[in-house]
Structure formats: C-alpha cells, structure tokens
Amino acid sequence: MNRLTRCVATSVLVAGLAAAPVAASIAAPHTTAATTGRHAVAAHGAIPFTAATVTAEDDGSFTVTWSAPRGAGDVRLYTGTSRDRIDTRHVVARGDSSGTVTVRGLQDADRRWFRLVPERGQGLTLADRLVQLDGTVNLRDMGGYRTVTGQWVAMGEAYRSDALDRLSEDDLDALEALDVRTVVDLRTESERTTAPDRVPEGARYEVADVIGGGGATVPDLSTPEAAAQMMVDGERSMVSSDTGRAAYETLFDAVDDKGAVLFHCTAGKDRTGWAAAALLTTAGVPRDVVEDDYLLSNDYRAEANAAALASMPAEQAAIYKPLMDVRPEYLAAGFDEVRDEYRSFGGYLRQGLGLSPREIRDVREELLVG
C-alpha cells in the first residue's frame, strides 16, 4: 500500500474502527449551505433571512444567494477580509428581499466575508464554508445554518477539520487570523505521535481521545458489508463509551472558551462528524440539515479518497470504501444510540456528557446569533 493509501485510508480505518464514522453530501464543495423554507420556524428571530449561502467560484468571484420575507425590504451586501472587519462604507451589491448576485473583482484574501443587511431586521455575516489551506482538505466552518427558532449558527466560532500535521506556515497564519484559540485533538495516542498537530501561535491544545488507549486494532474484514457494519458499531461506541463521552464533554467545554475552537480527528469525518452533529443539534439545527452537513465530507474528501482507492486492488478497495465514506446510516446509528441509552438528546447532554443546564445554555449562546 503506498503512502497516500496509508495516510488517507489506513488512518481512516484507525479513526473509525473503535470509534465510528459519519456520512455524506449536501451542497457542492465551497458552498456555505443554509436551511430552506422547508422548516417551520417556531419564533421569528431578529435575523429575517430564511436561507443564505456564499459560494466561492473557481474564477475568484463569489455567488451570494439569500431569501427573506418581503417585509425585510431590500438587501445590501458589504464585504471584508475578516468577520469583524466588514467595510460597511461601500455596498458591493444589492437586491430585493430574495435574490442572487455574483460579486467580482475583489482583492485576494485568506477568507472573504460578506454581510447581508436588510432594510428591516438584523444583518447576517457569512463566508464560504470551506477554509482552503495547503495542508487540509476537509477544514470547514460549522456556522451558516438556521435553527428551528429562526436563529443562525454564527460563522467563525467553531471549525471542524481533518489532521493538522501538514499545515504550512501560511496555514498557521490563516488560522491565527481566524482567531482559532483552542485546538481539540480527538485522535488516539498513536495517531498523535505519528502525525503531531501543528497549532497556530497562542492557541491552546487539548487532547480529547474518543477511542482511548493506544489505538484500535484493525479487524479482519472480509466484505464491504462487514466494513459498513463496523462503522455503524463504531458510531454507537462514540456516543456511549466512557472515552467517547469524556472526549465530547471536553469539546463542549472548549466551545465556551474565548476565540474560535477547531476540533479534528484524522480524516475529519467520523469522530469529528459526531462532534459536529452533536454541537449543531444542541444549537437547534434541524436533523436533516445536520445530516447534510455530516455528508459533506464525501464531497470534500472525494479526490483524496478516490486516489487512495485507485491505489488498491479492486477487491481491497471495495472493502475500504465503506470505511472512507460517510453514510446516513452511520450517523443514524449515533442518534439511535442516543435514544436507546439516554431516551433524548437532552438526556445525552445531561447524563452522557455530564453537562449542566447552564453549560448547555452557554454553548448555545456561544454558537448562535439572532
């Protein structure tokens, strides 16, 4: 097996065997996805937008799409090179309460942010979901999703990623500019030793080993069906095992710290996938949108996974593919374990992770705007 296969496939195995994966696709890569009008809103928040996306195009332009009730009035767009430095002196585009615009001719930036400001109601700040770095393929913002109460998960507060051992100096500078103050490493000791994280200057590094011990033992898998079942079993283990519960409690505590938190495993899809699903669910994001976000790893990892599978004999590739995928049934197994062990998601947070009502409220307040 060549180096690429070992890096992308074997490490994904270790990540998924004792812990378990998460599954597959919503918007195209480089798209900030948001919920649409299919979800009923229990209470209208101060932000009137019911949907909004920012898409970074290959030609350097940006497509911004939004939807709001007519009562919100016209919408003005402003832009900036950081979330907190939007140039509100110059309108870069405008439109009706619902619309799509393409913005061109903007100066290059590590990340381009847009603020959508309606005539009536609170503005919304978004960026492209993917954070494009030299050393990662699956680093993305968890924000940009609308909740059932009409609030939004703020962008720039929490990031999920694959391994950070290959970050360049420019990558580290970019993460520092994104105000990443805490990095939570969900990997095993062997993974951390083999591929130690590179962390932006000034950031706190925390270990939250979901699997525990020195790492998982790779089982003798003979069929794709056995591999997929292993992923389902692993997902359940992440929810109810002692090490999994302790790791995710550590992550929830980190979300309430100052600055942005970045959490990751090796491929950024299984242990990281459940972490993201749990945080988004806590914030009030609808289940189908949580699943869509989970499945995005199939899009962002498509090229790397295809290269790894192409390097294997066909029979071996067929067995490895379920280990590299994220699938709806994997994530569903995690939520089934929540139901079976804790009866409700609130029970999982309180009994499984040991979070107090105050701590749960603090996490929500940290993640939400509107």
Q: What is the pLDDT of residue 8?
A: 33
**Dist CA 30 CA 33 (whole Å):** 9
Percent of the chain predicted with pLDDT > 70: 86
**Dist CA 264 CA 139 (whole Å):** 9
- What is the tens place of the pLDDT at every residue in 334-368? 999 999 999 999 999 999 999 999 999 999 999 99
By the 8 A CB rule, do 325 and 9 touch? Answer: no
In degrees, to the nearest 5, what angle opens at C-alpha 344 toward C-alphas 248 and 340? 85
- What is the tens place of the pLDDT at every residue in 288-312? 999 999 999 999 999 999 999 999 9
Q: How far lies 32's CA from each of 10, 22, 368, in Å?
A: 30, 19, 16
Q: What is the pLDDT of residue 60?
A: 94
> Looking at this protein, which amino acid is placed at residue 40?
A
**Dist CA 189 CA 139 (whole Å):** 22
Average of per-residue pLDDT values in the chain = 88
By the 8 A CB rule, do 261 and 184 touch? Answer: yes
**Dist CA 227 CA 247 (whole Å):** 24
**Dist CA 288 CA 283 (whole Å):** 14
For the chain, the domains span 3-31+130-369, 34-128
65 falls in which pLDDT band (50, 70, 90)?
very high
By the 8 A CB rule, do 144 and 33 touch? Answer: yes
Q: Under CATH, which number does the domain 34-128 receive?
A: 2.60.40.10
By the 8 A CB rule, do 224 and 312 touch? Answer: no
**Tokens representing residue 226 in the block:** 């056995």
Using the structure block, give the residue that is written with the tokens 């280990």. 323
Q: What is the pLDDT of residue 40?
A: 35
**Dist CA 208 CA 188 (whole Å):** 9
**Dist CA 83 CA 80 (whole Å):** 7
Fold for the domain defined by 3-31+130-369: Protein-Tyrosine Phosphatase; Chain A (3.90.190)
26 falls in which pLDDT band (50, 70, 90)?
very low
Residue 23 predicted with pLDDT over 60 = no
Q: What is the pLDDT of residue 222?
A: 87
By the 8 A CB rule, do 129 and 232 touch? Answer: no
SS3 per-residue string spanning the chain: CCHHHHHHHHHHHHHHHCCCCCCCCCCCCCECCCCCCCCCCCCCCCCCCCEEEEEECCCCCEEEEEECCHHHCCEEEEEECCCCCEECCCCCEEECCCEEEEECCCCCCCCCEEEEEECCCCCEEEECCECCCCCCCCCEECCCCECCCCCEECCCCEEEECCCCCCCHHHHHHHHHCCEEEEEECCCHHHHHHCCCCCCCCCEEEECCCCCCCCCCCCCCCCHHHHHHHHHHHHHHHHHCHHHHHHHHHHHHHHCCCCEEEEECCCCCCHHHHHHHHHHHHHCCCHHHHHHHHHHHHHHCHHHHHHHHHCCCHHHHHHHHHHHCCCHHHHHHHHHHHHHHHCCHHHHHHHHCCCCHHHHHHHHHHHEEC
Residue 29 predicted with pLDDT over 50 = no
Rounded to 10 degrees, what is the CA torsion of 283, 287, 293, 296? 170
- What is the tens place of the pLDDT at every residue in 186-239? 999 999 999 999 999 999 999 999 999 754 556 668 899 999 999 999 999 999
160 falls in which pLDDT band (50, 70, 90)?
very high
Same fold, 3-31+130-369 and 34-128: no
Q: How far lies 274's CA from each of 104, 252, 298, 327, in Å?
A: 37, 12, 15, 12
